[in-house]
Structure formats: C-alpha cells, structure tokens
Structure 1
Amino acid sequence: MYNILKGGIFARHYGGLNLKRPHGINSYLLLIIKSESILYVNDTKHHVTPVNAIIIPPNTPYSYYNIDGDYTDDWLHFEASSTDLLDKLPISVPFQITNASILSSYINQLLWENYYTDEPFKTKHVDYIVEILLNHLYVEAKQEKKVTYTPYLQKLQQLRIYIKTFPAEAPSSQDAATQCGLSLSYFQHLYSETFGIPYKKDVINMRIAYAKELLTSTENSISDIIYLCGYQNQIHFFRQFKEITNVTPKNYREIHATKSN
C-alpha cells in the first residue's frame, strides 16, 4: 500500500537552504518544517512558521528557502497505491503542527522498518505506521483551535498521561512545574493553553473519574476509594464529587448498580 523511498529527521542545513524542484519528484513528499521559511508550490507562495507540515503530490513543482540562519526539517519521500487517507488531508498547503516530536518518531520508525526489517513484516509495519502518521496529520489539520508550538509539549503530554494513569500520585502544581523545567506561573499558563483546562481542575476531574470507575466496578468501601483516588480529606472529596456529578458517591453507586441490574 505504501512504499518508503527515503527520508530524514532533524535534517539541519547550516547557513540555510534554497531548494528548487521545477518539475517536482516522482513520489509524495511530506515535510515537517521547523524553521521560518518561504515555500512555493505550483507558484503559490506560503510564508511558513515553525512548526508546519505539508504534503506535496508527485510531479508538483515546488521550491523553498529559509528566512534566516539554519534550516531544519523532517522529510519523507513515499509512494502510495491507495490515496484514501491522503485524500482527506490538505494537499500542497501547509498546516500548523502542535506535536512535531511524535511525527518525528513515526518517520524515524518508518525509516528503520524500511531499511532493516525483513519481509513479510517490513511491508505490514510500514503500512501500519504510515496510516498512523497520516491519521495524526489529519487530526492536526482539522483542529479548530491551534496552540502555539512549544518544546515542552512532550513533557506536558507525559505528565498528563501519568496523572490519568495514576491520579492519586498527581504532583502538586509546583512539583509538576519543576518536573517540566518551568516556573510555576508559566507552567500553569502553558498547561491551560495546551489542553484547554487548568492543571488543578484537570487533576480533580481525573480523580473523580477514577472514583466513579471504582464505585461501579469494585466493592471497595467509599473510604478506600477516597484513599485510592489520592484524597486525604473526605469532606474535600465529597464536595468535589458532588460538584461534578450532582450526587453523593453512595447515590452514584446505587444508581449505577440499579442500571446494571
């Protein structure tokens, strides 16, 4: 379904880059542009700021050069026997990327599978990873609210995954900021801007969601559940639970026990 020809990640051109392909290339080109650049596709000019992606189809004229200093990008030349996923994406038009690191990791893994994995697994692995990569690009392209690219995005995502998995162990705002290498005020601003919710509220929501899960899937006492969700104060837990669910933990368990019967 997909054939990887060549590519690279964090390709850096010291002193800049000025590339012209008046006839394009015989394959698709995916660029993850990480430097401020001017890009021409079919004579249409685009001023590209970090970080943007663009997919250029075969035999399409293009050229690009960076504005100042060094130029860095990820790139991938590939062929596609089916364009079902590609047809859903913006083609020949750059769009903003908020999670460049995950896209870089997919391209890196694609190159590894293409160069060093034997058949029949090579083709299967490449197809799966390309589909994941294109689906991520689709999600990025369709996002209505774009956030400013930040090099701390991966750390923030790792933190959010951790507190979703272990809500009882969610660090304080200050400790979370320290883990991310940020000041407290900037961490709080960046977390809210990135995920659309303040850090403290996000932690509360995740803890209450975990409490609801335990109430309906275990026979643990409410006191045990309060502890498992990371609360030291029962009154604090009861107040937050009722604010979010409009019922007490006991009533919530009873309602869902009735529904399951």
Structure 2
Amino acid sequence: MCLLALGWMHHPRWRLVMAGNRDEFHARPTAALAPWQDETSVIGGRDLRSGGGWAGVGASGRMAVVTNVRDPLAAQTGPSRGALVADFLRGRDPAAVHIDRLATVAGAYAPFNLLLADSDSLEYLGNHPAERQTLGPGVHGMSNGALDAPWPKTRRLMAALEAWLQKDGGGAAEAAAPGAGPLLHPPYYGPPPPDLTPLWNALADEHRPADSDLPDTGIGLERERWLSPAFIRGDDYGTRASTVLLIDADGHGEIHERRFGPQGAPSGQSHVIF
C-alpha cells in the first residue's frame, strides 16, 4: 500500500475497516485479490515477483498491511517487505507477539510501516525511524511517511472514513462497476451489504493540495505534486489497486478490490466474503 485509512474499534458492526490504494509500477506482475492457492486461508492481492502481499486477511479475521517509507537516501535492499504481510497472515501468533519478534530484525528491511491486527489488538511497527506502538480505538492513517503523518491526502482519506463510520454501515448493495469480474463469495444471508460508494470516491480522489501543504521527502517539488493525490495516474507508475476491507467482531467480513492499468484505466474488480 501507499495510502490507507483504518478505523479500529470505532463502529458498532465493524471491528476494523480499512480503505487504501496500492501505487506501483504497472509492469510489476501482480495477482488479483483472491484466496492464495498455496494458503487458502489468506485472501488478498499478491506480488508475483516476490510472492508477498501489500494488504490482506487471514484466518479468524487477521489483517496485515504494509507501506514503504519514501526516502531517496535510504537503502532499498533487504528481504521483501511483502513477506511481512504474508508471514503474519499465514501464521497463528497474536499480532503483538508477532510484531515484537519482527522488531528485533526490522532493520534488515528497506524502510516500511506495518500494521497487524487480530481479534484483540492493532499493532504498528516502523523501521525508518524505529517505532513500535499498540494503537487504540479510532481512525488512523498511513502513507509513505510516519504513522498518522498529516499529509494532505492522508487527512482527506481519514476524514472520509471517519464520516463513513459515523453512519450505520448498512445500505443497498453497490452496483458492479463496468467490466467487473465475478463476485468470489458463497451465498450470503447476513445483514445488508454496506454502501461503500463514499470510500471508493475517497480512494479515487485526484485533488492536488497547495505546494505549501506538501511534505518534503527529498524527491523534488514536481514529483511531490504528482504523488500528492490519493489516486495517481501515470503511464509507467500509478495506482494499481484500491482496496476496502471490513471485519466484524467475530472475524467475518468482506474484502473488495478495484484494479487499474496505465493512466488509471479500470482493469477489473474482485470481492470476497469470508
């Protein structure tokens, strides 16, 4: 992921709600959101170059999401950051135990922010700079800087999620987007599906803030401007996927993905109920 907002223990129905965008080179091979063939309890998109993931769910509603930290002077070597997601989702250790163990080896990885959640806690680990937190109820945001750094696009997505969480989370099912693929889920007889339209709209936001509000991450003003919207368009690099994840108190929920090609052209969507 490169941008996300996450609501934790902040809604009467959903224990966790996450909305985020993955920005990546369009040429990087990627598998669409689905249960993983080699570990069907893991559901998410998958990076086919390294075998890891950027966001997903595992058994009993375990959640993991990772972002890189933007620093052109930092070393970009080390193990795949996607493995940080995959290893937790495949495992069974509590989030707090797993992340404490990771903290001892986090320096070996290129800069990252990592969020892990289980039924009991939401845990954060960053390695640039080194930071470890157990997060409380509320809305948290993360992009390619520090946790809850007030980047304009992070603040806008957090505000949109906060507004959505203030509603009851119910409503009519959304219509399938043009060119959508099949819905990957069994028959569902629970409460009515939530109306995710406000979250999709927030993830598609192309607002560019004033130069004075932009962070300075060492990449120059023109690139800061280009990377400043929630949704990024480009021929070679841009937003590849938007994801919305909802998990209830029992560890059940749904995960949605909308995919995009060069210049933001829609390329499909998936939806899994677990």
TM range (shorter): under 0.3
Larger Rg: 1
Greater relative CO, 1 or 2 (CA 8 Å, sep 6+) = 2
| TM-score normalised by L of structure 1 | 0.21
Greater per-residue strand proportion: 2
Greater per-residue helix proportion: 1
